[in-house]
Amino acid sequence: MDKALVLASSSPYRREILDKLGFAYRSKKPDVDETPLPTESPEALVARLAESKARSLANYFHNALIIGSDQVAVLDGQIIGKPGTKAKAMEQLQNASGRCVTFLTGLSLYNTETRQAQTEVVPYKVYFRQLNSGMIDRYLEREQPFNCAGSFKSEALGIVLFDKLEGEDPNTLIGLPLIRLVRMLEQEGIEVL
């Protein structure tokens, strides 16, 4: 590959996913204000933030393809953020019990030479089983997913909270849709295989 590949993220989860492709890449935390704009839809928010994160690193990397990603969980049209505390995580999981939460992941691949970005929003649905307070409390004690949108880690014990998952790529739920990223890289002339 003649272009450098850069991940605009400090997330260990996204790095672990990108490692699956076997490319050498660099990562750097982007400096982007993630505050939603007034009346901005969740879809528009993640698309804007993914592209903003990728573009924000253009001055640091030349002749590069920069990957930006952003994710929100949505229930009843409202964004569910990272809980931060056990009490907030308990509330989020109680609200999700028996319901469907949609995760929207914005993905952007920015070419620093052409100054063009490919940006998409990839949905993934999580159907929660009926959860009681004891189940939720035991789960939160064991996994402590307080820095995860939706208050769970699907790649670990959080899987027991669900009835089913629905989407084209399970990596999307963790924050980096590889199927779409591979297509974007191919549009830039990068063959993964």
Task: Point out the residues that are catalytic.
Answer: 70
**Separation CA 2–CA 62 (nearest Å):** 11
**Separation CA 67–CA 45 (nearest Å):** 17
**Separation CA 119–CA 105 (nearest Å):** 11
Who's near 164: CB < 8 A, 6+ residues apart? 127
**Separation CA 160–CA 147 (nearest Å):** 19
**Pairing assessment for the beta strands 100-111 and 116-128 based on DSSP bridges:** antiparallel
Distances (CA, A) of 135 to 16, 64, 85, 125, 138: 29, 46, 17, 21, 5
**Separation CA 158–CA 42 (nearest Å):** 24
Q: What burial class does residue 28 get, using C-beta atoms within 10 Å of its C-beta: 0-12 exposed, 13-18 middle, 19+ buried?
A: middle
